[in-house]
Amino acid sequence: MKIKLRFADNREKEISDLSELKKQLKKNGAIAVRLDSGLKDLDSIKEITLQASVEAITFDSIDGREIYRHSTSHVMAHAVKELFPAAKLAIGPATEEGFYYDFDIDRPFTLEDLNTIEKKMTEIIKKDNQFIRKTIPKKDAIDLFKKMGEDYKVELLAEIADEDVSIYEEGGFVDLCRGPHVPSTGAIKAFKLLSIAGAYWRGDEKKKMLQRIYGTSFSNEKDLKKYLDFLEEVKKRDHRKLGKELDLFSISEDIGPGLILWHPNGAIIRKTIEDFWMDEHLKADYKILYSPHIAKLNLWQKSGHLDFYRENMYSPMEIEGIEYELKPMNCPFHISVYKNSLRSYREFPIRYAELGTVYRYERSGVLHGLLRVRGFTQDDAHIFCREDQIEDEILNILDFTLFILKTFGFDSYDIYLSTRPEKYVGTLENWERATSALKQALEKKGLSYEIDPGEGVFYGPKIDIKIRDSLNRAWQCSTIQVDFNNPERFDITYRGSDGKGHRPIMIHRALMGSLERFFGVLIEHYAGIFPLWLAPVQIRILTIAERHSDYASEIAKVLKGEGFRVETDLENEKIGHKIRETTIRKVPYLVIIGDKEIAEGKLAVRKRSGENIGPFTTNEFIGIIKSEVDSKQ
């Protein structure tokens, strides 16, 4: 017998007997193996009889973490069934950062329940129960789970085409599962249950609401603590929490979920973002458009949205016997502007840009502050060009995108090339040409990317850029899409140098994506501590006593005249209290005015970090902050 064993670090070793293989796997922390036929339980190595290739799967790999965490979800389900025997099991998959399990139970779980479940899980783990895989006929499995009263498992089994299915047992607890799992419950070294949420069965809001318990697990307590500390930092940065504390935005039940009210502090940041966006687009030879919020329904039929996007659109409204629709996209409007004139090849490329508000029907269960909403503004643009201009335009867009992202403090990102989905329009030839154009541009820029198969939009392939924030979390914002299809659907043409009509290529792109989502990401990226150029209030002037108010007001007037966002605090309060209040509001600069400042004609300046700088004359201070605003640091 010859066995080739590959370790997690890609080292390889040839082994001649199973006992040595088991020893090596245990020594290297394997929790499962990959055989020629795929991922298997560690115990499956006893089935090896001929020459085989075995890969050790450890927690440090993506597959290993999924196996480990899915095994932890089984232990949690076991604990729940022991504590709440009437609870019915639904599904319990691993997630990117942990796991969850859905239960049908006659009352909501409480935080106290989580503590009790954790204790029971610890007992099960200490028993070191072996995970035992059994393959049985599907009909026997259905009988078994019917007898156990596990209706959801029976429903899942009915949809499995195979005649045989696998179940796992540990310590008397049985669950339907493909596996693999860790060898025994004792392999789970560190875990934590995190939260409770409601979840519809199969994600269908017409079906029963179940109780979902989220948790996570790691191979050691140190890494678990590090992750829990990370979650605490995430909570501190939550844009919904900071949005309220800094008075940036709100969502009113009177108006409706997923619809954002921008408060003055948030609105001034939005204006700053929009002004920067507008200025840079004009410099880059884009033409600015504005378009209506509704259009005739047949426009969306022509664009293909009714066929491919209907579930994300709202019900039509009738106006004078004609059906209209809230716009989910801006592209058909930009096409209409293009078609308003005869076009020549000499005009190309034509670049239209719009901060266009669109409306998407998102289920209430997925709405999340600014990050998932029903009405949002896209920094949208559509470029019409000749086929020979595609690559140059994509290169320009990539440069423009990375410049915009860097200006807002995002230097790290992941790039994906999303290819043709199952449902699509257009010819395979056009899809291949569009995909090739995107790929060539990425490679010409020397940008690393991954293929995201089948994730293109129905009308064309795309490049997606996922920015990474200060906590290294990925956020989807920027996208570039090549579209051969809408020009065909809307029959748009241009007159070429040969005097004949030709079909232009259309490129869709968004640099920030949704302004609402981008703002939510910015809040969490900066933890509400915005750089000076974005801060809603840039300077706050604090007086030590009432007699300093007139001088403070004069300074405020001068600073406002220079274009800075300034507030004054002239209240008869102690200066320490004023400083604390201003620091809580995360204002970048505090200017303190007292007798000395008035006598010397200078300003005592303090940064929000607590660092005292200066003193400065008013003109010196203006020079310092102008330089900081202009550099956008």
Nearest to 604 by CA among 540, 558, 531, 546: 540
For the question of residue 508 being annotated catalytic, the response is: yes
Torsion angle of the four alpha carbons 528, 532, 534, 536, in this order, in degrees rounded to the nearest 10: 70
Instruction: Give Dmax over CA atoms of the chain in angstroms.
Output: 94
For the question of residue 208 being annotated catalytic, the response is: no
CA distance 291 to 355: 9
**Identity at 313, one-letter amino acid code:** M
Contact 177, 166 (CB under 8 A): yes
Q: Which of 211, 212, 331, 608 is catalytic?
A: 331
Q: Which residues pair with 288 in a beta bridge?
A: 353
Question: Judging by DSSP bridges, how do beta strands 132-137 and 164-170 pair with one another?
Answer: antiparallel
Contact 237, 246 (CB under 8 A): no
For the question of residue 331 being annotated catalytic, the response is: yes
For the question of residue 462 being annotated catalytic, the response is: yes
Q: Which of 239, 334, 462, 608 is catalytic?
A: 462
CA distance 213 to 197: 7
Tokens of 426: 């257009």
Q: In what order do the strands lie in the sheet with 52-57?
A: 12-15, 3-6, 52-57, 32-35, 38-41
The size of the chain, in residues, is 633
Helix (H, G, I), strand (E, B) or coil at 448: coil
CA distance 263 to 249: 5
Rounded to the nearest angstrom, the gap between the alpha carbon of residue 542 and the centroid of all alpha carbons in its chain is 40
- CA distance readout (Å), 161 to 152, 164, 176, 177: 17, 9, 15, 15
CA distance 514 to 273: 12
CA distance 171 to 145: 17
- CA distance readout (Å), 571 to 547, 552, 568: 11, 12, 9
Neighbours of 448 (CB within 10 A): 8
CA distance 342 to 529: 50
Side-chain half-sphere CA neighbours of 229 within 13 A: 6
Side-chain half-sphere CA neighbours of 605 within 13 A: 19
Beta strand ranges found along 487-556 (DSSP E)? 494-495, 501-502, 505-514, 539-543
Q: Which of 88, 334, 360, 606 is catalytic?
A: 360
For the question of residue 378 being annotated catalytic, the response is: yes
Q: Which of 41, 102, 378, 525 is catalytic?
A: 378
Neighbours of 571 (CB within 10 A): 13
Rounded to the nearest angstrom, the gap between the alpha carbon of residue 312 and the centroid of all alpha carbons in its chain is 19
Q: Which of 78, 351, 382, 525 is catalytic?
A: 382
Q: Which of 113, 380, 464, 469 is catalytic?
A: 380
Question: Judging by DSSP bridges, how do beta strands 566-569 and 450-452 pair with one another?
Answer: unpaired
CA distance 458 to 587: 45
Q: Which of 508, 540, 578, 585 is catalytic?
A: 508
What is the secondary structure of 71-100 as a DSSP string? HHHHHHHHHHHHH-TT-EE----B-SS-EE
Q: Hey, which residues are catalytic here? A: 331, 360, 378, 380, 382, 462, 508
